[in-house]
Amino acid sequence: MAQENKNGLEVIPRDSAKIKKIWMTALILLVVTAVEFLLAFTMERGMLLYIIFIVLTIVKAKYIMMEFMHLGDEVKPLFYSIIVPLIFLIWLIIALFKEGAEIFLMRW
Amino acid sequence: MSSTAIEIQSKRGVWGGGNEPLKASYGKLMMWFFLLSDIFTFTAFLITYGAIRVSYPAYGGEAADFVSSNEYWPIPEMIFDAIPLVHGGHFPLVFVGLMTFILILSSVTMVLAVEAGHRNDKKDVVKWMLWTLLGGMTFLSCQAWEWTHFIHGTDEGSMLTYVNSLGNVVTETVYGANLIVNEYGPAPFAQLFFFITGFHGFHVTIGVFLLFLAFYQAAVGVYEKRGHYEMIEKIGLYWHFVDLVWVFVFTFFYLI
């Protein structure tokens, strides 16, 4: 039931499958957050828990970027020009954590 | 030769103009590259947090017996344990979890607005933009409360020995937090809290202004006259990014 308004922009009817997919993504994000929240109190603090947190965070980031920001629907060159520069961050993480650990040894 | 005839060629080369590199409009492309630069800024902040954190001793004892001190890095869930209206209660991470939920939901309503924009459905765009705007403002109000509580501190405070702003070593009970001393942990803990959540909050504030602009323009029919709802899409990208950053802040500042 496409309706015309006076400016001539045609209103396309809702595609309920698309809207359902958005709400499903939302549900996944909320559930993952709830799981993180539960793990924070049930698991012992340590490297394992931190790795689980980081993995779950990257899962959430993937859903937000691919489903909400539609990065997956862009052409491949645009996709890679956003994703590939993030490799620099891996270097930054290694460099600064090493630096922090050295400062710890100097200070204490 | 004075005429400036514009010849429309049927076959235009790559340099002839009029084509979209990467099949995205100029505005969307630039928004993506701006967001990429912003990703670097925020990760620099978060990695700095990690680097400074490992340069301090970790708290060694049981989490339940945790006592604040500026000798070691605090356990965040023992610090962020207050909720509004309940004085002195212990509800670890409940409030910040709620803030995360609010921001994720406002991101969902944003993507619904973008979807309605693709369908040129003005009524739906306006409705979902309004929900997103409300979510953004609720999040900002929550953060304002969180900051107020962090700055004013607990009733008990902490007995700390530190170097004050005049350069003297003092031992006294410290309440709340500022950039020189805080009752929760070493001075960089509060400094990083202010910088990271503050910089994120600043982004949310700009986002709320943009959301209001888009909501208003959609409601008065600017986009309908323009013939497309691309502005909703661009502001949507920014708003999802704000949510994306918060997901990382939540993990690295509050959970770990």
Assess if residue B111 is contained within a domain: yes
Structure tokens at A37: 């929240």
Confidence of residue B3 (pLDDT cuts 50, 70, 90): low
Give the best-scoring range by mean pLDDT among A45-49, B4-8, B242-246.
Answer: B242-246
Chain B residues close to A88, C-beta within 8 Å: 40
Residues B179-227 have pLDDT tens digits of: 999 999 999 999 999 999 999 999 999 999 999 999 999 999 999 999 9
pLDDT of res. B92: 85
Assess if residue B108 is contained within a domain: yes
**Pairwise CA distance, residues B4 & B122, whole Å:** 41
pLDDT of res. B220: 95
- CB contact under 8 Å between B51 and A41, yes or no, is no
**Pairwise CA distance, residues A84 & B146, whole Å:** 36
* Helix, coil or strand: residue B36: helix
pLDDT of res. B127: 95
Return the bridge partners of B58, or none: B73
Assess if residue B6 is contained within a domain: no
The domain containing residue B246 runs over which residues? 25-53+89-152+189-255
Give the contacts of B110 (CB within 8 A, at least 6 positions apart). Answer: A68, B128, B129, B132, B236, B239, B240
**Pairwise CA distance, residues A20 & A23, whole Å:** 5
Chain A residues close to B115, C-beta within 8 Å: 18-19, 22
Residues B127-159 have pLDDT tens digits of: 999 999 999 999 999 999 999 999 998 888 888
Q: Does A35 touch chain B (CB under 8 A)?
A: no
Number of inter-chain CB pairs under 8 A, A vs B: 141
Q: What is the mean pLDDT of chain B?
A: 89
Q: Does A53 touch chain B (CB under 8 A)?
A: yes
Assess if residue B1 is contained within a domain: no
Assess if residue B8 is contained within a domain: no
**Pairwise CA distance, residues A74 & B23, whole Å:** 8
* Helix, coil or strand: residue B169: strand
ipTM: 0.88
Q: What's the total number of domains in chain B?
A: 1
- CB contact under 8 Å between B251 and A53, yes or no, is yes
Q: Does A80 touch chain B (CB under 8 A)?
A: no
Name the residue with higher pLDDT: B237 or B76: B237
Name the residue with higher pLDDT: B64 or A36: A36
pLDDT of res. B138: 96
pLDDT of res. A44: 81
* Helix, coil or strand: residue B158: strand
Give the DSSP H or E segment for A48: helix A47-63
Closest CA to B168 of B180, B177, B156: B180
How many angstroms separate the CA of residue A21 from the nearest CA in chain B? Answer: 11
CATH value at residue B222: 1.20.120.80
The pLDDT > 90 percentage for chain B reads: 62
Q: How far is CA B113 from CA A73, A108, B126, B225, in A?
A: 18, 53, 8, 18
How many angstroms separate the CA of residue B5 from the nearest CA in chain A? Answer: 32
Residues B43-87 have pLDDT tens digits of: 999 999 999 999 999 887 777 778 888 888 998 888 888 888 888
pLDDT of res. B84: 86
**Pairwise CA distance, residues B116 & B228, whole Å:** 11
Chain A residues close to B40, C-beta within 8 Å: 85, 88-89
Chain B residues close to A108, C-beta within 8 Å: 57
Assess if residue B235 is contained within a domain: yes
Residues A12-27 have pLDDT tens digits of: 888 889 999 999 999 9
pLDDT of res. A40: 87
pTM summary value: 0.88
Return the domain boundaries, chain A.
1-73, 75-108
Residues B26-47 have pLDDT tens digits of: 889 999 999 999 999 999 999 9
